[in-house]
Amino acid sequence: MVKLFFIFVRLYEQHPEYKLTVLLRKTPDAFAAKFPGVQIVNGAWETPAVLEDAASEADIVVHCGDSDHLGAVTALLNGLIKQNRKVFYIHLSGTGTLSDYQDTDQFRGKLNPKTYSDIRDIDEITSRPMERLHRVTDSAIQAIGEHYKDTVKTAIVAPPSIYGKGLGPGRTDSFYFPLFVPEVRKHGFTMYCNEGSNRKGWVHIEDLVDVYQLLIARAAAGGEGVTWGKNGYFLTTTQEATQKELATAVGKVLHEKNILPSPEPKQVDEGFISKTLAQFFVPNFGYYMLASNSRGVPERAKKELGWGGGRAPPLWEVLPDEVEAFFNRPDENFR
């Protein structure tokens, strides 16, 4: 999620009244010159004392790194708890929590009609099994938000797959295409499982950053009118796509670049998918990436923040650029 450095860039450019502190594992060249006035804390998720100390001096902590690093999350929350005053914690999660790939094999490569509203279905979302993606850290944050509800105001932002070019140092790319495109090059064709009608949500980085900016502004103003704590969960989906639609679009781009002999995707069986992306040593990762459904309905951000979504270009308009950024990269870059 390196592209979410975009959040910092947007805040720096549009809110000169904010006093910003940024955590950096390694300070990029010319960072201080490019962002004068920003306080730099050198540390990492593996340096809890540094994180706790930095959070103990902050009014608002915006976490947009490793969603599942419980030690880092705990350290940041501990730093906020120490202050014993109203402070805010805004955390990056994701709709992997909603994915059905661990729930059932009934909808592998098929449409699952189940959707999750972050208002109507909030109890179901916050009670998903602990084995689901992001649930360990999400539940820890929600527990702190409830126990310290008068002082530590917590919110979780859960984007689906992100597209669009980010800003800032390091990688600015998305998650799906850098994984899918090398797999396609390895096999010589794009693919979908069974019907290929399984659907997942997408959001442009700029639309996602709009949610963060609105939420941070509300926190800076005292937090009124926004749900915090256990129910402070914000989905950000602006559109959906099926795996067959994605495979078709990616195949067209790669065929035009003479990377694939045919633009047509191939239907593959579940056995093929089970071996896909196996280099990541995550159980059933191929099912998660290519054959599952994950469908969120973002009602809370619209109702409480006035977020409209869809301001940025749609996925299909940006997809050729997303694919072309990776078609000539070796597989090793994504292992």
Please enumerate in sequence order all residues whose Cβ is within 8 A of that of 309, keeping only pairs 6 or more positions apart, or say none. 203, 207, 210, 236, 237, 238, 298, 301, 302
> Residue 173: its pLDDT value, please?
58
How high does pLDDT run on average in the chain? Answer: 93
User: What is the reported pTM?
Assistant: 0.94
> Residue 3: its pLDDT value, please?
58
> Residue 167: its pLDDT value, please?
60
- What six digits make up the tokens of 10? 């947007």
Return the exposure string of 240-258: e unless at least 16 CB atoms fall within 10 Å of the residue's CB, then b: bbbbbbbbbbbbbbbbeee
pLDDT digits (tens, 9 = 90+) for 272-312: 999 999 888 678 999 999 999 999 999 999 999 999 998 89
Chain centroid to Cα 145, Å, comes to: 21
Return the exposure string of 70-88: e unless at least 16 CB atoms fall within 10 Å of the residue's CB, then b: eebbbbbbbbbbeeeeebb
pLDDT digits (tens, 9 = 90+) for 166-178: 665 544 457 899 9
- The CATH classification number of 2-334 equals 3.40.50.720
| Domain limits, the chain | 2-334
pLDDT in tens, the chain (335 residues): 445 688 999 999 999 999 999 999 999 999 999 999 999 999 999 999 999 999 999 999 999 989 999 999 999 999 999 999 999 999 999 999 999 999 999 999 999 999 999 999 999 999 999 999 999 999 999 999 999 999 999 999 999 999 998 665 544 457 899 999 999 999 999 999 999 999 999 999 999 999 999 999 999 999 999 999 999 999 999 999 999 999 999 999 999 999 999 999 999 999 999 999 988 867 899 999 999 999 999 999 999 999 999 889 999 999 999 998 775 554 444 33
Helices 48-55, 70-83: axis angle to 10 degrees equals 30
Amino acid at 282: V
Dihedral sign (CA 71, 75, 77, 82): positive
> Residue 5: its pLDDT value, please?
84
